[in-house]
């Protein structure tokens, strides 16, 4: 075999897997179909769980030297009234905030770190389009316009539209998502404190993510309503954003063209079987998450850590990884089910009510707002998740 591990996809899950398997001394290649990591409106939320993982690797200070903004508390404005929801400042470890870091900065950092290991290789402009199989076992991938790549283990980390998930006939369960999201950005002056907020009012829901000198806006809409909203014109879009999220009113005039507004078709699904001999799916390829709470990339990174924890040491000893692949799914399925279950409840009871114009601040939210100690509970769920991972994979000398 050319490699011990071939990772398809250079997103958060794929790059983290590439770093950890190469760090263990396994010959690892990551195949990324694009020529760079520069993509707008990809997940930019690096949660406390991920920050603490990099601290365990001794890399947190170097990671935070990259451009980012810190969010140590989050809240919502419902019907014009502000509520505090989560306070990350009391979480264990050094990751006591959410780092709002452009995803290309995060991925560049992981790539630069992984290149320190001679066992690591990153190929850009390498589009995976199928599997190499022999006697029912996956033994590599095919590439568009290039020779196949052979490996003892192929990791499908190629996102929610995974080519390898389909090629490997891994069974997918669609949980349904009743929403889509318009992503856009509007300029703002820098302030002393981060002003990230969610706004719910008048049948609209908008999240304004404070990125220093601009807001990254997310307008949540009912699935399938994008064309109807576009038909009302960009001026109407601006007025509706300004009316719902007053913090954006001053800068919303910068939106002059629909090309500045990107539609995210929200998916919520998961594989019922993540692997077959020679192939393992992780991250969005194994479970597409809703943007609710911004936990998607952090769950994907946790998958990569779990995979390395379970597989790296045995593979170093020359063992067959196939009997161990199911352990990754067994380890990670509970967190996936629980977070997706919470997201479905949010879709139905919060977002559905908000878009229907009938939302009122629930009694529980009012209680959390009044008692700051309670704000540590949602902070722990959002920031650390369920059954969080720690770095246990070996490090080559």
Whether the per-residue pLDDT at 224 is higher than 70: the answer is yes
Q: What's the rounded mean pLDDT across residues 116-140?
A: 96
pLDDT > 60? residue 198: yes
Q: Which of 164, 113, 215, 149 is nearest to 6 (CA)?
A: 149
Q: How large is the average pLDDT for residues 231-260?
A: 95
- Cα gap 271→210, rounded to integer Å: 34
SS3 label, residue 385: coil
Residue 67, Cβ neighbours under 10 Å: how many?
Answer: 12
Please state, rounded to an integer, the average pLDDT across all residues of the chain: 94
DSSP string, 182-240: EEEEEE----SS---EEEEETTEEEEEEE-SSEEEEEEEEETT-HHHHHHT-HHHHHHH
Note the pLDDT of residue 192. Answer: 82
Question: Is the pLDDT assigned to residue 313 strictly greater than 70?
Answer: yes
Q: Assign residue 348 a region: left if phi > 0, alpha if psi is -120 to 50, beta otherwise? A: alpha
Express each pLDDT in 80-94 by its tens digit: 889 999 999 999 999
How large is the average pLDDT for residues 342-347?
92
Nearest CA to 307 out of 133, 95, 140, 156 is that of 156
Give the residue extent of every domain in the chain.
3-175+267-384, 179-264
Give the confidence band of 43 by pLDDT, cuts at 50, 70, 90.
confident
Instruction: Between 353 and 317, name the one with better pLDDT.
Output: 317
Q: What is the pLDDT of residue 194?
A: 83
State how far the Cα of 164 lies from the Cα of 131, in Å rounded to an integer.
7
Q: In what order do the strands lie in the sheet with 45-46?
A: 45-46, 98-100, 69-71
Topology (CATH) of 179-264:
D-Amino Acid Oxidase; Chain A, domain 2 (3.30.9)
Domain 3-175+267-384 annotated CATH 3.50.50.60: yes
Task: Quickly state the pLDDT bin for 41 (edges 50, 70, 90).
Answer: low
Can you name the residues that pair with 219 across neighbouring β-strands? 182, 206
Q: Which helix (H) or strand (E) holds 381?
A: helix 376-384
DSSP 289: -
Binned at pLDDT 50, 70 and 90, residue 356 comes out as confident
What is the 8-class DSSP label of residue 316? H
Residue 149 has pLDDT above 70, yes or no: yes
Question: What pLDDT does 362 receive?
Answer: 78
d(CA 349, CA 369): 19
Q: Do strands 204-210 and 197-201 pair parallel, antiparallel, or not at all (unpaired)?
A: antiparallel
Residue 358 has pLDDT above 80, yes or no: no
Mean pLDDT, residues 262-271 taken together: 94
The pair phi, psi for residue 180, each rounded to 5°, is: -130, 175
Q: Structure pTM?
A: 0.93
Q: What is the pLDDT of residue 365?
A: 86
pLDDT band with cut points at 50, 70 and 90 for residue 153: very high
Residue entry with tokens 């989560």 = 86
Model confidence at 56: pLDDT above 90: yes
| Lowest-pLDDT range of 40-54, 79-93, 119-133 | 40-54
Query: What are the structure tokens assigned to 132, written together?
Result: 């190499």
Rg over alpha carbons for the chain, rounded to the nearest Å, is 21
pLDDT at 40: 63
Pairing of strands 179-187, 45-46: unpaired
Please work out, in degrees rounded to the nearest 5, the angle formed at the alpha carbon of residue 233 by the alpha carbons of 231 and 239: 130
**What token pair was written down for 346?**
């949010």
Q: What is the pLDDT of residue 170?
A: 97
């Amino acid at each position: 075999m050319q490699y011990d591990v071939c990772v398809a996809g250079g997103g958060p899950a794929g790059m983290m897997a590439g770093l950890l398997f190469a760090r263990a001394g396994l010959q690892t290649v990551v195949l990324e179909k694009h020529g760079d990591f520069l993509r707008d409106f990809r997940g930019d939320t690096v949660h406390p769980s991920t920050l603490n993982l990099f601290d365990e690797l001794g890399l947190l200070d170097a990671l935070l030297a990259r451009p980012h903004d810190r969010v140590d508390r989050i809240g919502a404005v419902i019907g014009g009234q502000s509520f505090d929801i989560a306070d990350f400042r009391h979480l264990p470890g050094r990751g006591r905030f959410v780092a709002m870091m452009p995803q290309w900065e995060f991925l560049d950092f992981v790539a630069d770190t992984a290149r320190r290991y001679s066992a690591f290789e990153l190929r850009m402009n390498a589009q995976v389009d199928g599997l190499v199989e022999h006697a029912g076992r996956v033994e590599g991938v095919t590439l568009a316009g290039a020779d196949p790549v052979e490996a003892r283990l192929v990791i499908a980390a190629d996102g929610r539209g995974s080519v390898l998930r389909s090629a490997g006939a891994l069974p997918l369960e669609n949980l349904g998502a009743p929403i889509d999201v318009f992503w856009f950005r509007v300029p703002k002056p820098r302030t002393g404190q981060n002003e990230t907020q969610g706004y719910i009012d008048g049948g609209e829901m908008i999240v304004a993510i404070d990125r220093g000198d601009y807001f990254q806006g997310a307008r949540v809409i009912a699935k399938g309503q994008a064309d109807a909203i576009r038909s009302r014109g960009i001026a109407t879009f601006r007025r509706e954003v300004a009316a719902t999220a007053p913090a954006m009113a001053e800068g919303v005039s910068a939106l002059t063209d629909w090309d500045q507004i990107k539609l995210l078709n929200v998916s919520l699904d998961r594989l019922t079987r993540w692997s077959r001999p020679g192939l393992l799916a992780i991250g969005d390829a194994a479970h597409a998450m809703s943007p609710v709470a911004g936990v998607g990339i952090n769950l994907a990174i946790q998958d990569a850590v779990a995979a390395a924890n379970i597989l790296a040491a045995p593979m170093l000893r020359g063992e067959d990884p196939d009997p161990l692949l199911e352990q990754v799914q067994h380890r990670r399925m509970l967190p996936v089910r629980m977070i997706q279950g919470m997201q479905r409840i949010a879709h139905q009871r919060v977002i559905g009510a908000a878009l229907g114009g009938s939302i009122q601040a629930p009694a529980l939210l009012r209680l959390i707002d009044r008692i700051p100690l309670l704000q540590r509970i949602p902070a722990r769920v959002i920031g650390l998740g369920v059954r969080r991972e720690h770095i246990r994979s070996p490090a080559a000398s």
